[in-house]
Chains A and B, each alone.
Chain A
């Protein structure tokens, strides 16, 4: 079951440069929330603050409060504990190149000490079904490496891998930016189904995509969140002039 996310006064820095300014946000459980905005405005930085991936960069730093369900992200929760409950799909597919397809999906559980072979088999199959990849790889689960798949298949493999640890929140950073329209369609269908079980935050440059999959949309500009509202409202009747300029394509 998904959980909600609350962000209060979030500031993020890379060394001395500040990348995010006073972000406040409420993400509803079991809904998809899209983040849009021009390149370099801080969408990736923001989403990486939610699972403490930001702090793996040297000199990077975060201030402010984030709650995910009952977890205080920056207060008393270990990063590894948190990340088991908050899955992430990255902009570029990043399967483990030397592992088989099966091992890629099972990696999260295996590396965290899960050993039950039979249950692993079931979870791998279920995760690959969820990411709409099962039929394409079921005959080569152990024979082929994750890196031997096509770009779109790799991305769906990465989604299966993220789902295998049964997170409550799924963060997706431009998951379709390297994919063809058919793969993109498959992943969008997937997001629709996943919403029933997970809370989804998705960064996208594709405004039609945001409109198709997300109930809520946030617009970022130069490290600030300019507007956050129902997707329909953001795209048809935004309250900020800058949002309107962006969604109507006048800049960005």
Chain B
């Protein structure tokens, strides 16, 4: 027996004693070093994020005022004006995109997880992964072809369709993954009570996976919220208020794009302000949903 065990009563008598060596200095050094590396990588990941946010505030905050948030753009050369119509336009387009993309994506995810463990499911999975990799400008062209050409003009609807197409694969695959994480035992518990399969899927499995599914939805939402390319020839942009879904509509990202490329200093400042507003709105929307979900969650769930 090693000396470390001196104070303890003898435990084994016949079998050979196992001597556990003390933790060596080298192992303690490695442990510390690894922890340090982990902390460092976290900082490296958060640093650019913090830097971007700080720079946006630095450049943009000065141009955010009541006029910026309530007025439409002024004609070229005239200083002042704002992006209120673009904020409304972005909200409209994103609402349309979410109304179409979220149910479709969740539905596809349910199919893949609960009914798609076969060849058809594999085809859907493959198509969805390919769709996820299609450049956003191409999605814009598709929406142009199926909505704009048919309606004969640019519209919020067309922009919404383009963004919805982009949301579907992300939501479908995360929903699938989250549903697959729900233990089979939970489904069996519902079956055992005489609950039908579709009812189990909707009321038990999906409900159990809610927080994960919402994360997927928010991820997709945040990703498309800042998209510019697919809106260029779908929503197109508009310098004035527009309340009609079938007319060209302004969007923050489009407005930022136009202003940033312009030769005017005032527009550059407004582009920075617009970027800051866009980021704040995305973060705000995602946090609001998270808080709402947490409110409805029970202790220990």
Contacts and interface: CB of A to CB of B under 8 A. Distances in A.
Tell whether A pairs with B. Answer: yes
Interface of A: 51, 53, 56, 58, 79-85, 87-88, 90, 92, 94-100, 107-108, 111-112, 143-145, 147-148, 158, 161-162, 165
A90 B185 contact: yes
A80 B204 contact: no
Contact of B188 (A56, A147, A161): A56
Interface in B276-301: 297-301
Given A53-B188, A90-B188, A158-B189, A98 B194 contact: no
Contacts of A88: 188, 192
12 contacts: A80-B194, A81-B194, A85-B194, A88-B188, A94-B189, A107-B190, A107-B193, A111-B199, A111-B203, A143-B298, A148-B298, A165-B193
Contacts of B199: 111
A83 B193 contact: yes
Interface in B188-207: 188-196, 199-200, 203-204, 207
A148 B300 CA distance: 5
Given A92-B185, A111-B203, A145 B195 contact: no
Nearest to B182: A97
Given A111-B203, A143-B298, A144-B298, A97 B186 contact: yes
B251 to A, nearest CB: 37
B219 to A, nearest CB: 21
A83 B192 contact: yes
Given A97-B186, A161-B193, 6 more contacts: A53-B191, A80-B194, A107-B195, A143-B298, A162-B192, A165-B193
B117 interface: yes
A128 to B, nearest CB: 16
Interface string B48-79: 00000000000000000000000000000000
Contact of A98 (B183, B192, B298): B298
Contacts of B200: 111
B195 A97 contact: no
B210 interface: yes
Main secondary structure of the interface of A (DSSP, over half): mixed
A112 B195 contact: yes
Interface size bucket, B side? 20 to 34
Main secondary structure of the interface of B (DSSP, over half): helix
Contacts of A158: 189
Contacts of A80: 194-196
Contacts of A97: 186, 208, 301
B300 A94 contact: no
Nearest to A108: B193
Contact of B298 (A84, A100, A112): A100
Nearest to A91: B185
Given A97-B208, A145-B301, A83 B117 contact: no
Contact of A84 (B194, B208, B210, B300): B194
A82 to B, nearest CB: 8
Interface string B117-157: 10000000000000000000000000000000000000000
A90 B183 CA distance: 13
